[in-house]
Structure 1
Amino acid sequence: MMRILTILAAFMVFCPGAYARDLKVATWNLGWHLSIPEAKDWIAKCSAPFQLNAATGLWEPAVSGTPGWKLTWGRDAPIAWNISLLPPCDIFKSPAFDIVSVTEAAYAKRSGQLTTFIEGKIAPDVIAFQEVSGEQAVRDALPSNGAGYFVCTFTGHKVQRLAFAWKREFGPAVECEVEDALSLPSLTEKERVRPGLALALNIDGKLTRFLDVHLKSSCVSPFDNPPDALDGDAGPGDPCKVLQQQVVPLEKWIERKSVDTDRVVLLGDFNRNVWHETNETGAVRTDGSDPMAELPPKVRARKLIGEVNDGAPEGTLLTLLDEACPVNTASDDACKRLKSAKIAADEKLLKQSENLGCRNPVGLDHILIGAGFSSSHPAEKLALGRQGRTLAASTDHPNPLLALSDHCPLAVVIAD
Structure 2
Amino acid sequence: MIKPTRLAFLVSLLATSAAHAAAPSQAGAKAAPPAQIGVASFNMAWAGSQQDFDRHAAVCKAVSWCDTRPKRAPGQARPDEAAIQAARQCVADTERLAGGPAQAAMSVPCNAYLGRGDKTPPTSADYAAKMAGLQATIAGLIETQKVGVIAFQEVRSAEVVKQLLGRHAERFGVCDAPHDGFQTVAFAWDRSLGQTGAQCGVNQELAVSDNPADKEARRVRPGLALTLEWPGRRISFLNVHLKSGCANIVPHPIYQARLLDDPAAACVVLNRQVAPLERWLDSVGKQSPEYVLLGDFNRRIDEEAAARIPPEQVRVDGSNPAGVPVADASGKVATRYLWQELSDGARTLHQVPLTGVETGCRGFSGLDHIVLSGPLAARQAPTLGSRKTAVVQAPDQRIETSDHCPRSVTLAL
Category of TM-score, reference length = shorter chain = 0.7 to 0.9
Q: Which amino acid aligns with 2:105?
A: S
**Given the alignment, which residue of 180, 188, 200 partners 2:227?**
200
Distance 1:163 1:100, change over 3 A: farther
The separation in 1 between residues aligned to 2:236 and 2:127, in whole angstroms, is 34
Q: May I ask how many residue pairs the two structures share in their alignment?
A: 340
2:31 is equivalent to residue 16 of structure 1: yes
The separation in 2 between residues aligned to 1:108 and 1:386, in whole angstroms, is 12
Distance 1:135 1:386, change over 3 A: closer
Q: Which amino acid aligns with 2:366?
A: G
The separation in 1 between residues aligned to 2:270 and 2:122, in whole angstroms, is 33
1:302-321 aligned within 5 A: 302-312=336-346, 316-321=347-352
Is contact 1:131-1:162 (8 Å) kept? yes
Is contact 1:218-1:228 (8 Å) kept? no
Q: Which residue is equivalent to 1:411?
A: 408
Distance 1:379 1:160, change over 3 A: same
Instruction: After TM superposition, give the deviation of residue 73 of structure 1 in Å.
Output: 4.0
Instruction: After TM superposition, give the deviation of residue 35 of structure 1 in Å.
Output: 1.4
The separation in 1 between residues aligned to 2:45 and 2:302, in whole angstroms, is 23
Instruction: After TM superposition, give the deviation of residue 311 of structure 1 in Å.
Output: 4.0
Structure 1 residue ranges (4+ consecutive) displaced by more than 6 angstroms after TM superposition: none
Distance 1:254 1:219, change over 3 A: same
Q: Deviations over 1:129-179 (max 9, x none)?
A: 111110121122113262211100133321101100001212585432210
Q: Which residue is equivalent to 2:361?
A: 356
Q: Which residue is equivalent to 1:367?
A: 370
Distance 1:375 1:141, change over 3 A: farther
Q: Which residue is equivalent to 2:322?
A: 292
The separation in 1 between residues aligned to 2:29 and 2:325, in whole angstroms, is 46
Distance 1:86 1:372, change over 3 A: same
Q: Which moved more, 1:208-217 or 1:291-300?
A: 291-300
**Given the alignment, which residue of 279, 290, 296 partners 1:252?**
279
Q: Which moved more, 1:243-252 or 1:20-29?
A: 20-29
Q: Deviations over 1:164-208 (max 9, x none)?
A: 000121258543221011112582332421111112122576222
Q: Which amino acid aligns with 2:67?
A: T
1:16-415 aligned within 5 A: 16-17=31-32, 21-46=35-60, 48-50=61-63, 67-68=64-65, 71-74=66-69, 77=87, 78-79=89-90, 80-82=93-95, 83-94=104-115, 96-123=116-143, 124-144=147-167, 146-170=169-193, 174-184=198-208, 187=212, 188=214, 189-203=216-230, 206-224=233-251, 228-234=258-264, 238-280=265-307, 282=309, 283-297=313-327, 300-312=334-346, 316-327=347-358, 355-357=360-362, 359-360=363-364, 362-370=365-373, 371-373=375-377, 374-376=379-381, 377-384=384-391, 401-415=398-412
Q: Which amino acid aligns with 1:372?
A: L
The separation in 2 between residues aligned to 1:173 and 1:308, in whole angstroms, is 29
Q: Which amino acid aligns with 1:33?
A: A
Is contact 2:225-2:236 (8 Å) kept? yes
Instruction: After TM superposition, give the deviation of residue 43 of structure 1 in Å.
Output: 2.5
Is contact 2:392-2:401 (8 Å) kept? no
Is contact 1:227-1:233 (8 Å) kept? no
Report the TM-score, using the length of structure 2 for normalisation.
0.75
Q: Which amino acid aligns with 1:49?
A: A
Q: Deviations over 1:92-147 (max 9, x none)?
A: 233x4425522222222322222122112454200011111101211221132622
3-state DSSP class of the match of 1:231?
Answer: coil
The separation in 1 between residues aligned to 2:318 and 2:206, in whole angstroms, is 25
Report the TM-score, using the length of structure 1 for normalisation.
0.74
Provide the alpha-carbon RMSD of the alignment.
2.7
Q: Which residue is equivalent to 1:63?
A: none
The separation in 1 between residues aligned to 2:29 and 2:200, in whole angstroms, is 27
3-state DSSP class of the match of 1:233?
Answer: coil
Indicate the structure whose relative CO is greater, using CA pairs within 8 Å and at least 6 residues apart.
2
Distance 1:356 1:16, change over 3 A: same
The separation in 1 between residues aligned to 2:355 and 2:391, in whole angstroms, is 15
Gaps of 5+ in 1: 1-12, 51-66, 328-353, 392-399
The separation in 2 between residues aligned to 1:32 and 1:112, in whole angstroms, is 14
Q: Which amino acid aligns with 1:74?
A: R
Instruction: After TM superposition, give the deviation of residue 89 of structure 1 in Å.
Output: 1.7
Q: Which amino acid aligns with 1:378?
A: G
Q: Which amino acid aligns with 1:309?
A: S
Q: Which residue is equivalent to 1:338?
A: none
The separation in 2 between residues aligned to 1:143 and 1:191, in whole angstroms, is 32
3-state DSSP class of the match of 2:105?
Answer: coil
The separation in 2 between residues aligned to 1:281 and 1:264, in whole angstroms, is 24
Gaps of 5+ in 2: 1-27, 71-83, 96-103
Is contact 2:113-2:399 (8 Å) kept? yes
Distance 1:137 1:293, change over 3 A: closer
Instruction: After TM superposition, give the deviation of residue 405 of structure 1 in Å.
Output: 0.5
Q: Which amino acid aligns with 2:114?
A: K
Distance 1:99 1:90, change over 3 A: farther
- Identity, in percent, stands at 32
Distance 1:152 1:99, change over 3 A: farther
Distance 1:158 1:145, change over 3 A: farther
Is contact 1:35-1:138 (8 Å) kept? no
